[in-house]
Homo-oligomer: A and B are copies of this chain.
């Protein structure tokens, strides 16, 4: 269950010293075809890392031959030297693979401002070793090589009738809208053209990674890349493929949420009966980014007042005095006042279910987030990322 689950893909994960621990730190994923279709979505942050600036150009023609990913340095705000590093990474991989450099996507993750000559030498070494180690069994190694503060690798797959989708992800903090410090590679052996791949990828990320908002912070390096080999020779109904791809993305998003830095609760915020889906997303996100609410959940305190205070900052259509709030199945607030007592709510499980019923329409959205904990503060004050 990895990026090498679908036919037509090879991958590798190697160690070249970017991580001080000696763990794997460069991954290569190659599409052996026959199709070389690719699509990608990127961070919406205007502060873009060099690999983003490069890869945005690569995917424009809908062709992606390979993805090179490194941990141990974000290569962001490292000047023209840093951009040249990304360029050389793609050129080295292209030369070894016998493809064009303009079809090689590059992804980096780590500390912003890191990308000196030693970094470049190690990444290029990683390309050499990675290409030399490529294998149809290499998906698991690749998923290990992209980990940073992740406590475990994230992999997912979908098995269709004679076709499949595989995926890997990394990310344990800065999970936010418009994607966020996540690197994701998705592979499939179905037959798709570039337009279909792009549409399916955008639809799948919109309701999964885009709605994972661990701490409201948006990264400079996020990228989700889909590569299509067509090696199964099977054309799949567009809706069926879109649903399957969304399922794989949702699975990976849940794994990212479950491994968010320092979190002790995985909070699912379901906003129901909104006037529009955009309203539902805005309301859910306002709660996902409310430090006071998130600290209360860490303290197992069903503090619904902080939910109302958060959603009151939005422009969504609703009457603050006609909203129902449910926590773990208990309605704690209705019609602008308290309902069942706080003591009825058991917040000890890690999985936390918050429902906000806006009572104005029929639209719904789900936002995933985490609580705000001592460990979150510790990890993000002690670890430079």
Instruction: List chain A positions with a Cβ less than 8 A from chain B.
Output: 44-48, 74, 76-79, 82, 111-113, 173-174, 215-220, 289-292, 295-296, 298-299, 301, 303-306, 308-314, 320-321, 333, 335-338, 372-374, 376-378, 380-382, 384-385
List the B residue with the shortest CB-CB distance to A178: B313
- Rounded to whole angstroms, the CA-CA distance of A336 and B173 in the bound complex is 23
Asked if B381 and A301 sit within 8 Å, CB to CB, the answer is: yes
From known contacts A320-B47, A337-B113, infer whether A381 and B296 are also in contact, taking CB-CB under 8 Å.
yes
From known contacts A217-B290, A313-B218, infer whether A112 and B377 are also in contact, taking CB-CB under 8 Å.
no
Asked if B47 and A309 sit within 8 Å, CB to CB, the answer is: yes
From known contacts A113-B333, A308-B220, A312-B220, infer whether A377 and B372 are also in contact, taking CB-CB under 8 Å.
yes
Q: Give chain B residues whose Cβ lies under 8 Å from the Cβ of A216.
A: 289-291
Chain multiplicity (copies): 2
Q: Give chain B residues whose Cβ lies under 8 Å from the Cβ of A47.
A: 308-309, 311-312, 320
Q: Which of B44, B174, B291, B309 contacts A220 (CB 8 A)?
A: B309
Of A74, A220, A289, A336, most B-chain CB atoms within 10 Å: A336
- Rounded to whole angstroms, the CA-CA distance of A79 and B373 in the bound complex is 33
Asked if B338 and A217 sit within 8 Å, CB to CB, the answer is: no
From known contacts A77-B333, A292-B173, A333-B77, infer whether A304 and B113 are also in contact, taking CB-CB under 8 Å.
yes
Q: Give chain B residues whose Cβ lies under 8 Å from the Cβ of A308.
A: 47, 76-77, 112, 220
Asked if B218 and A337 sit within 8 Å, CB to CB, the answer is: no
